[in-house]
Structure 1
Amino acid sequence: MAALLFKAQLVNQAGVPTAEFARILFGVDSPEEKEKTFRAICKTAYPQLRIQEPLSISPAKLD
């Protein structure tokens, strides 16, 4: 079961960085599906902000 750490810088309508959001997602889903899930979580948690591309995606250690 692969675990990935997703990080995103969130910006307001003026393009000013306002927040950073990170989550570890694990399971049998493909990395692309995990990315879609992460983007949906960001939109739900911060509907007034948008993700500044690119996302940071790296392997996560689950010890």
Structure 2
Amino acid sequence: MRQKRGQMNVCTALEELKMEGIKEGAISGIIKTYQEFDRPPSDAALKIQMEYGLGQQEAREYVRRYWRKK
């Protein structure tokens, strides 16, 4: 039984990593879309704050990470 629990923990961890990757991709897409439509970075930050329940600082960090320099 011990091995099965370990396998379940690994499966759970992998599922969490997968979901985190999906979230990162969606956030990146939102930010890039806002940039393509010439919206200010603050609008993108507000959108991902509302969409994902993030704090202001965390949303700004995502924008800094994914906003492309022109």
TM-score normalised to structure 2 length: 0.32
Higher helix share: 2
- Tell me: higher relative CO, structure 1 or 2? Use CA pairs within 8 A at least 6 residues apart: 1
Please give the TM-score of this superposition, normalised by the length of structure 1.
Answer: 0.35
Question: Normalized per residue, which structure has more strand?
Answer: 1
